[in-house]
Structure 1
């Protein structure tokens, strides 16, 4: 039986039809990637499934008693801690815990605790902490109020809440947009192990290849389902297009041959009957249209002039803000043939390093030397906020290229697919992907020798991402890339630099090795391994990191111990209420044997539950003691 059934769905927005009698079925446990061009209606479809908008026709049916979860559009806020914010997302658990604290009805209290056990409420804090940790929040951050964090980090909290609910159907719309590559890799693993169904809108090829069972393609108002990940979808769709085009060509040739016979012999009496037969046969031929391919997306970068090596060197450089050092002792070199990706969690200094290379941040110590002729193109992930919404792309480019002719201005925009119509539109009317194209055009207007790309693909669709990869392959200058998109990193970079522990060092391996390294590091952290290696060999840093790993590893145990202790208290409270009721003579005077039996049965069950909770508490405390450093 299907978990979600969409039948003949029609959706219109502002008079434009996005889905036209589209159908889709999702079985329990299946994970479906939803792809399509920007503006095709993917997010609108998710909104309709969630009940935010009403269909213009057709039906959306979710299986009875099935739960559905999605990332809320509004980011969480307020003074509540991250861990409490995630926990509060489980409304049933919150209501049951409140009722367990306030009810005086022993029978109802028993029902409440049975339901709490059924939803595994005692393990909820540890589960929420593990999800937040995977998305980049350490134990200290989890206890800080949501108001301390920026919008991007709050979106991670919203994502954590949706994952924590563990619904039967999970709706995710570009879940990796606010994640770094480490959190993206963690999310891929979580989704692979997730037992429910998921419908995932994403332009992240790695996510679509590593997580989903099938691809739902939204194209020209229709939904088609293809088994496998995105790579398999591209292969099958390409083969289907070729077969369909060949069939259309064969049919066109057959039609032309028949029409030629009719045209030649229609006027001849001896051939008139045959001509009429051919006309009828011609009318019966099926109408097979050739696959209509969208205009392919193409990007191109201006070719820079050659520079002698080294293009840029830095010697014992330290950088930071307001006297606080973020990265120190950097002695690195860049040449024109370098293709480098920066790895490391958000907040470790990747964007700070990019600002140093771009000349937007001066070193606190040390020196940076580069060729006086070197030009730098910088794409920053938040630069779209600096665009003037009432101006057009032509206005922006003309200001940036003051000595260029109008033809040259338009040509630079055209390099990134901004045709005349879009070049003359207000920036406020452009999509996120079109704004990203404008920023790429602005960043490369001077034919830079060094191109700095900080999350360039956040709003680009899959075709535009592939176009960017092809353009970078042809680019003659150096590239320093920061991206959560593993496919982009693997396709572009030939060297990886790890930003961690206040410095930058080469990572010896490819993205596959980096994934393995992350998993191994997480395993050691979970085990509280005191001998985990440290990249810089510093004894003090090693000890400090080991202590932090131990704290992270102990956090679930501490929460487990607290949860077990709290459950014990609630069970003791329930026991006291039942014993008080059983000691009441009025109970027996009323002669209600059913209530007496129920209370005695619950009292016996309480003994087993108290023993189990006490055992959990003792086990957690014992493991905490064993994990303490000697």
Structure 2
């Protein structure tokens, strides 16, 4: 359906693609992978025609529809989320808006004199709405929004009042409702909770069009894609299979290439040694000349490209008491809405509790209560002796000094630390070279999250309270964090929508449901096995 034929692309001095070729066939579900800055978004923009290649061509089958979801959702305001989603399918949303306005006019006693005209127009607009299959479309739009965790109130409210994360979901819903022949999704798993993620996973599995997507969520990618296209060093390489298969194949390919490289290097060294030894002897002149010509003709094997991976090693955290935090008969509500009515929970040393529950169940509220950033209406929250807490929340990223560089932020937090150790810390969290000189105000969400995490973990607390710590993190940083936290000796209480993170790090599960609070010994993997669900109320 779409073919990339020997494309070349350069942005300024940076070469993005060199004679790169790949294809997206009908019904294929492709994962696009590569390091940050390798050109994934540029590739999507070339496919949609927003950016032309410098060389080669992007060819699409005649008449196909392409839906593209990107992180740049544009302006949204002055209409409902449902109307915004339906708008992606064509004129039907404008007709729906007029129908709603006419319904309001019909109920307005001040317009009694115009009633005949209004009724006539209402009949015309209603007929047009039916002709466009509007009633069924609105039902499907609401179904998609519900799958992405919208309440009825949010669906009908002004889309302009929603946060950036919820507007992302509206933009994603537009593409899903459109059901184009080809769907291009750039990080669709960002900003989604676990329930929405699982719903999207099942939607995309059932989608019969062609799909190409990027995602920092390993589990999500692994379950959907059947082919992986990797961008590396300006080239495109295709692997059949899911993400896990790609990882295995890539490792195998690197191993073979390394072995070939080493064999060739040994052979070259032997030949060069012979040439050096006998080049001055007339009796060996012919042999030396022959070997020099042979070396000139040999095609050199390149060593495999090394992905930069940096490990982060925790300094040992000080030992806390056995009871890390204790909540007794905690009541908490907002306005007329009760979140907790008599919550009891004891978190003991070395336990790693993951907190699960649908939107609004009180996951973040629990973490705020424990961290002391909100207080219970009644009951007690007691932090144990010798507990040093580190709290990561999304709002922590807003507290960074925008004028400070990355390095200045780290220096301000740790004035006694050496420059070398702070540069090493920055490198572990993806800030290498000139990146440490970036001002905080220009950092992306992912970069801010990494900087806050680095600051929190350099002098490690013995109790980590983490609210969605993997939001915005790329796979490499996420893997580094999981590896580091798996060796962490302290206690953890966390919320995450990343199933790989949940499975790797939890040894207790706290499930918040409308029926009450359930506690499970064993981690997320045991929770799934025991309940048959990957999230509260959702079957796996």
TM-score after normalising by structure 2: 0.87
Q: Using the TM superposition, give the Cα deviation of residue 402 of structure 1 relative to its aligned residue in structure 2, in angstroms.
A: 5.2
The separation in 2 between residues aligned to 1:408 and 1:448, in whole angstroms, is 18
Matched, 1:449 2:462: yes
What is the aligned counterpart of 1:247 among 254, 260, 263? 260
User: Structure 2 matches for 1:130-279, cutoff 5 A?
Assistant: 130-279=143-292
Which residue number corresponds to residue 8 of structure 1? 6
Aligned CA distance change for structure 1 residues 516 and 160 (closer, same or farther; 3 Å): farther
Structure showing greater radius of gyration is: 1
The separation in 1 between residues aligned to 2:141 and 2:311, in whole angstroms, is 43
Post-superposition Cα deviations, 1:89-114, rounded to whole Å, max 9, x if no partner, equal 21154589899999x9xxxx9x9899
Matched, 1:379 2:392: yes
Aligned CA distance change for structure 1 residues 337 and 372 (closer, same or farther; 3 Å): closer
The separation in 1 between residues aligned to 2:257 and 2:452, in whole angstroms, is 38
Which residue number corresponds to residue 138 of structure 2? 125
> 1:342, 1:496 within 8 Å by CA — same for their partners in 2?
yes
Q: Using the TM superposition, give the Cα deviation of residue 263 of structure 1 relative to its aligned residue in structure 2, in angstroms.
A: 2.4
Matched, 1:88 2:87: yes
Post-superposition Cα deviations, 1:101-160, rounded to whole Å, max 9, x if no partner, equal 99x9xxxx9x989985xxx65532222122111110133432233234222112111111
Which residue number corresponds to residue 106 of structure 2? none
What is the aligned counterpart of 2:50 among 52, 56, 59? 52
> 1:311, 1:371 within 8 Å by CA — same for their partners in 2?
yes
> 1:49, 1:60 within 8 Å by CA — same for their partners in 2?
yes
> 2:390, 2:461 within 8 Å by CA — same for their partners in 1?
yes
The separation in 2 between residues aligned to 1:316 and 1:426, in whole angstroms, is 45
Name the Cα RMSD after superposition. 3.1
The separation in 2 between residues aligned to 1:520 and 1:451, in whole angstroms, is 24
Which residue number corresponds to residue 307 of structure 1? 320
Post-superposition Cα deviations, 1:308-346, rounded to whole Å, max 9, x if no partner, equal 211111101123446754333211011221112222223
Aligned CA distance change for structure 1 residues 340 and 241 (closer, same or farther; 3 Å): same
TM-score after normalising by structure 1: 0.75
- Give secondary structure in 2 for the equivalent of 1:190: helix
The separation in 2 between residues aligned to 1:47 and 1:265, in whole angstroms, is 58
Task: Name whichever of 473-482 and 16-25 sits farther off.
Answer: 16-25
- Give secondary structure in 2 for the equivalent of 1:311: strand
- Give secondary structure in 1 for the equivalent of 2:381: strand
> 1:416, 1:437 within 8 Å by CA — same for their partners in 2?
yes
User: Structure 2 matches for 1:414-433, cutoff 5 A?
Assistant: 416-419=429-432, 421-433=434-446
Between the two proteins, the alignment pairs up a number of residues equal to 512
Q: Using the TM superposition, give the Cα deviation of residue 522 of structure 1 relative to its aligned residue in structure 2, in angstroms.
A: 6.1
Which residue number corresponds to residue 27 of structure 2? 29
> 1:76, 1:157 within 8 Å by CA — same for their partners in 2?
no
* Structure 2 unmatched ranges of 5 or more: 103-117
Aligned CA distance change for structure 1 residues 115 and 212 (closer, same or farther; 3 Å): farther
Task: Name whichever of 383-392 and 473-482 sits farther off.
Answer: 383-392
Task: Name whichever of 417-426 and 76-85 sits farther off.
Answer: 417-426
The separation in 2 between residues aligned to 1:174 and 1:49, in whole angstroms, is 16
Aligned CA distance change for structure 1 residues 501 and 112 (closer, same or farther; 3 Å): closer
Which residue number corresponds to residue 112 of structure 2? none
> 1:75, 1:155 within 8 Å by CA — same for their partners in 2?
no
Which residue number corresponds to residue 517 of structure 1? 533
Q: Using the TM superposition, give the Cα deviation of residue 187 of structure 1 relative to its aligned residue in structure 2, in angstroms.
A: 0.7
What is the aligned counterpart of 2:41 among 7, 24, 43? 43
Which residue number corresponds to residue 297 of structure 1? 310
The separation in 1 between residues aligned to 2:416 and 2:480, in whole angstroms, is 29
Which residue number corresponds to residue 374 of structure 2? 361
Which residue number corresponds to residue 481 of structure 1? 494
Post-superposition Cα deviations, 1:516-563, rounded to whole Å, max 9, x if no partner, equal 43699469xxxxxxxxxxxxxxxxxxxxxxxxxxxxxxxxxxxxxxxx
Q: Using the TM superposition, give the Cα deviation of residue 397 of structure 1 relative to its aligned residue in structure 2, in angstroms.
A: 2.7
Aligned CA distance change for structure 1 residues 300 and 324 (closer, same or farther; 3 Å): farther
The separation in 2 between residues aligned to 1:426 and 1:95, in whole angstroms, is 43
Post-superposition Cα deviations, 1:173-217, rounded to whole Å, max 9, x if no partner, equal 111111001100111111100001111011110111100011111
Q: Which structure shows the bigger proportion of residues in helix conformation?
A: 1
- Give secondary structure in 1 for the equivalent of 2:38: coil
> 1:206, 1:486 within 8 Å by CA — same for their partners in 2?
yes
Matched, 1:467 2:480: yes
- Give secondary structure in 2 for the equivalent of 1:91: coil
Which residue number corresponds to residue 108 of structure 2? none
Post-superposition Cα deviations, 1:484-520, rounded to whole Å, max 9, x if no partner, equal 2111111111222222339643257636448943699
Aligned CA distance change for structure 1 residues 386 and 322 (closer, same or farther; 3 Å): farther
> 2:85, 2:170 within 8 Å by CA — same for their partners in 1?
yes
User: Structure 2 matches for 1:63-102, cutoff 5 A?
Assistant: 63-71=61-69, 73-75=72-74, 77-91=76-90, 93-94=92-93
> 2:511, 2:536 within 8 Å by CA — same for their partners in 1?
no
Q: Using the TM superposition, give the Cα deviation of residue 462 of structure 1 relative to its aligned residue in structure 2, in angstroms.
A: 1.2
